[in-house]
Amino acid sequence: MKTTSLLTILFVFTATITFAQQGSVVGTWKLVSGKAAMGDSTMSYDDKTADAIKIVTPTHFAVLYNNVADSAFVNAGAGPVQFDDKNYTEELRYGNGKDWIGKKAKFTYRIEGDKWYIKGGIENVATFDEVWQRVK
């Protein structure tokens, strides 16, 4: 009887966490498309040019970008993350862009189905408007 009760509690707890994370930024995401602006330069990209993945836990994030044409490494960053139901902030502590280390990327976001729309950037450095798709 105790085993059945324990399994039931474990199942309900796991199902609750999974359900809560479905509407959350927590998870693994693949880039669909984006636009970036740095100074006078703007750039558009999508999953045909950039193979990117972002992993978000309740406390940290990591993002990796490769060039689709030659599978070459382009960029990576990681560090602590904070978010609520509409704001998302990444603190860049690790990465290959040394000028960005120590900076915060602040975004507003919304989730619609399995798509995550983020818009914002690093103050006085770059802005981003991106769409990510949840990896299942």
Q: How many Å apart are CA 51 and CA 53, to the nearest integer?
A: 7
Do residues 117 and 102 lie in contact, with contact meaning Cβ atoms separated by under 8 Å?
A: no
* 11 inside domain: no
Contacts of 119 (CB under 8 A, 6+ apart): 107, 108, 109, 127, 128, 129, 130
* 49 inside domain: yes
pLDDT, position 80? 98
pLDDT in tens, the chain (136 residues): 554 443 333 333 333 333 344 469 999 999 999 999 999 999 999 999 999 999 999 999 999 999 999 999 999 999 999 999 999 999 999 999 888 999 999 999 999 999 999 999 999 899 999 999 999 9
CB-based burial label for 84 (10 Å; 0-12, 13-18, 19+) = exposed
* 55 inside domain: yes
CB atoms near residue 130 (< 10 Å): 22
CATH code at 98? Answer: 2.40.128.490
Q: How many Å apart are CA 105 and CA 121, to the nearest integer?
A: 5
pLDDT, position 10? 34
pLDDT, position 98? 86
* 74 inside domain: yes
* 51 inside domain: yes
* 48 inside domain: yes
* 44 inside domain: yes
Which residue range forms the structural domain that includes residue 80? 25-134
What is the value of pTM for the model shown? 0.81
What would the two tokens of residue 50 be? 């950039």
How many domains are contained in the chain? Answer: 1
* 13 inside domain: no
pLDDT, position 23? 67
